[in-house]
Amino acid sequence: MSKLALTLVLFTFLFSMLASQAALETKSISGKSFITLRSIKSHYGFLKMSLSENKITLRKDKVKLEFIIGSGLCYMNGLKFSLSSAVKSSGGRYLVSDIDVSTMIDPVLKPTFISTAKSFNTVIIDAGHGGKDAGAVNRLGTEAGYNLKVARTLQAGLKSKGFKVVMTRETDKYLTLGQRVAIANRYPNAIFISIHFNAASNTLAKGIETFVLSPVGVAGYGRGVKSSDYKTRSGNHQDSANIALATAIHGRMKERVDKYKVPDRGIKRARFSVLSGIKNPAILIEGGFMSNPTEAKLIDDKIYQSTIATAIYEGIFRYRGALNAAKR
Ligand SMILES: [Zn+2]
């Protein structure tokens, strides 16, 4: 199978071809390296490029890549990704930051690493918080409790399909982040999923989001780049697999929660310590806002909890399907 044909496997198991190897064209602006959008078009073999208002769309067959000019948002097949720099226009060219192309766009559009990625037989499920750390709390319950409910449902589903499942906790007990990492790193052929629900002081905040570890040189969530962001973490050895795993699972979650009108906040990057320390492909999921009255009720509902668990389960199969397709 063509390396480039894997893109859509991550989304839908449909195959598409993005196949040209024209070089990417680099431009430097105040010491930062950018890639021109027209070279992204030819490099990935997109056929059409269209501009409407503030949005640029590249298309080929079933693959669609959209950039919102002046914002740090990019959509790949409708799935939202937060870039580290806004897409800008300069000297008649549209420019995307080099690091976003290499660490976010390329692993999704051209998941070549998948053909060499190790297959996995173990899923490590990390129910966030627990014990003295309840996580977010509202009138209806605690985040630690909800995380565990989703984790248990996912555990049962995966076990019934023959996966080996490791739970970082199965009861309401406290674990440090370091202990979670230590458990995860005992299993070499594994993926790691940390389950959480969000809270914010703004009760209007809503939606699902998924985090992967920030690659080297990309800022942590919600701040500028610091010198420590140039240090390689254990999790950075899985940068490409992390983003592919997030694409497969978050994409499925977005499809599944759509009927509840829970919006998609996208795939984001952060330097959370649990993601930093893990040697296996790892993601952290936030399944909605406990601080939002509407979502609080959903999160307390068994059906919604199992919807999230099912979406993660199906996303795991999607990711595994991409690995298997590459090895055919
Ligand atoms: Zn949490």
Output the DSSP codes for 289-310.
ETTSHHHHHHHHSHHHHHHHHH
**Hey, is 75 helix, strand or coil?**
strand
CA of 212 to the centre of ligand 1 (A): 15
Residue 166 burial class via C-beta count within 10 angstroms: exposed 0-12, middle 13-18, buried 19 and up: middle
Is the model's pLDDT at 16 over the cut of 50?
A: no
Q: Residue 4: is its pLDDT beyond 60? A: no
State yes or no: pLDDT of 13 exceeds 50: no
- How far away, in angstroms, is 174 Cα from ligand 1 center? 13
Q: Bridge-partner residues for 224, per DSSP? A: none
Please report the pLDDT score of residue 111 as a whole number: 76
pLDDT digits 0-9 by tens, 129-179: 999 999 999 999 999 999 999 999 999 999 999 999 999 999 999 999 999
Residue 197 CA to ligand 1 center (angstroms) comes to 6
Query: Which one-letter amino acid corresponds to residue 228?
Result: S
Compute the distance from residue 198 Cα to the ligand 1 centre, in Å.
Answer: 6
What's the Cα-to-Cα distance from 300 to each of 95, 145, 173, 227, rounded to whole Å? 44, 10, 20, 41
CA of 61 to the centre of ligand 1 (A): 39
**Whether 84 contacts 99, CB under 8 Å:** yes
C-alpha–C-alpha distance, residues 92 and 204, integer Å:
39
Digit-coded pLDDT (tens) for 45-60: 898 999 998 999 999 8
Tell how far the Cα of 128 is from the centroid of ligand 1, in angstroms.
6
Ligand 1 centroid to residue 111 C-alpha, Å: 30
What pLDDT is attached to residue 261? 97
Report the range out of 17-26, 42-51, 55-64, 178-187 with the highest average pLDDT.
178-187
Q: Can you tell me the distance from the alpha carbon of 168 to that of 183, in angstroms, rounded to the nearest whole number?
A: 7
Ligand 1 centre to CA of 102 (Å) is 29
Domains of the chain from N-terminus onward: 3-110 (3.30.457.10), 115-327 (3.40.630.40)
In the prediction, which pLDDT does 5 show?
Answer: 52
Compute the distance from residue 131 Cα to the ligand 1 centre, in Å. 13
- Residue 14 clears pLDDT 50, i.e. is over it: no
Query: With bands split at pLDDT 50, 70 and 90, how would you rate the model's confidence at 10?
Result: low
Cα 144 to ligand 1 centroid, rounded to whole Å = 8
Tell me the pTM.
0.92
pLDDT, tens digit, 9 for 90 and up, residues 70-124 = 889 999 999 999 998 899 888 889 999 999 998 899 888 877 777 778 889 999 9
**C-alpha closest to that of 96 among 29, 47, 7, 17:** 29
Q: With bands split at pLDDT 50, 70 and 90, how would you rate the model's confidence at 39? A: very high
Kindly give, in sequence order, each residue whose CB lies less than 8 Å from that of residue 118, ignoring residues fewer than 6 positions away. Answer: 188, 189
Q: Which residue has the higher pLDDT, 217 or 3?
A: 217
Query: Which is more confidently placed, 324 or 214?
Result: 214
Interval 251-270 mean pLDDT: 96
> What does pLDDT average to over the chain?
90
Mean pLDDT of 212-222: 87
